[in-house]
Amino acid sequence: MAIGAGALAAGAAVTGYTLERSLVRRWQVDADTLAAAGRTLPGDMRHRSVTVSDGGRIHVVERGEGPPLVLVHGVTLSVATWTPQLRALAGRHRVIAVDQRGHGQSIAGEDGYSMDRLADDLAEVLVALDVTDAVLVGHSMGGMVAQLMSVRHPDVLHRRVAGLALVATAAGPLVPGLGGAALAELLAGAVGRGLHRAERRGKGIFFSDDQSAWVTRASFGSRPSPADVELARSMISAMPPAALAGLIGPLLAFDVRHRIRRIDRPTLIVVGTRDVLTPPRMSRALHELIAGSELVVIPGCGHMVMLERPDLLDELLHRFSTELVGMAEGQ
């Protein structure tokens, strides 16, 4: 009987592993498939490097002309997150995408990592690029940075930004409930120590490609494109563990709920019904806090809105920008 039970367990384990490998292979695609799916960055982008006040260097890409859209990605991602928007919207807009410090080609200065520092970086980039009347678009952590920049640098907001688009993001703690702050602190400490060990050993954020594929897939909603999963996975895997270690605590502790009522710019809020990282309740809370904001909830969409529903997001951003231009011309 014991031998039979052991054989069944072994068989189940082999079957589970085979199924896991089969699913992971479905999400693994090559460079040609990414290119065919339009998930490679355009070759005609303009690259800029902005040196910020603590000596950090922020990498920025631009494409197109017209009313500006400034795109700020989430944690572990990069400007490549916005590949669909850089391709599709540049015919109607000056599309600007920012690598946040520790991501992509941007490097931190002497201040290291904090949400305040990321907000300061964004304000300095807007000034350096002489951006005016922009729609500032922030995804996930980028949306948090956009909110914080708005309340931390109201002069930059009023001179440079016509409206905000907050995509799959939050204004309050990512670990909710009583004891959430204490749990977030413990989690950040444990994760941070593990990431620093990985950095010292020359390892990446993930133990294996399989793990990175599973974790990345969890950020998508129903039936994602393998090319989208691979694009996101490649960005996440490329992030230095020490940079993520520096950000994990500030990210989990982020809370501007008591401050964002000051935001007096038109605001568009977008979230997917299958977002498990920043679920719809967080966007609804944002909608209640920011007077006059518009909330769009996308059925079946997960956290990676710009990849999962690019056509819809592009049209929402273009329409929002057009309305803001019309409002400015009518004044």
Q: 261 in a domain, yes or no?
A: yes
Q: What is the pLDDT of residues 5-16, one digit of tens each?
A: 444 344 433 343
> pLDDT tens, 230-256?
999 999 999 999 999 999 888 988 999
What's the length of the chain? Answer: 331
Average pLDDT over residues 302-316: 98
The pTM of the full predicted model, rounded to 2 decimals, is: 0.90
Separation CA 205–CA 246 (nearest Å): 13
**Within-domain flag for 185:** no
Average pLDDT of the chain to the nearest whole number: 89
- Give me the number of domains the chain comprises: 1
Tell me what percent of the residues of the chain surpass a pLDDT of 70. 89
pLDDT of 25 over the 90 cut: no
Q: Is 68 domain-assigned? A: yes
User: Which is higher by pLDDT, 4 or 326?
Assistant: 326
pLDDT mean over 300-312:
98
In terms of residue numbers, what domain contains 37? 2-172+205-239+254-330
In a domain, 198, yes or no: no
pLDDT in tens, 80-97: 999 999 999 999 999 999
SS3 assignment, position 50: strand
186 belongs to a structural domain = no
Q: 196 or 71: which carries more pLDDT confidence?
A: 71
> Is 56 among the domain residues?
yes
CATH number, domain of 38, equals: 3.40.50.1820
In a domain, 196, yes or no: no
**What are the residue ranges of helices labelled H in the chain?**
2-27, 31-36, 83-88, 115-128, 141-152, 154-160, 180-200, 209-217, 226-238, 241-253, 280-289, 305-308, 310-330
Query: Considering the domain boundaries, does residue 64 fall inside one?
Result: yes
Pairing of strands 161-167, 68-72: unpaired
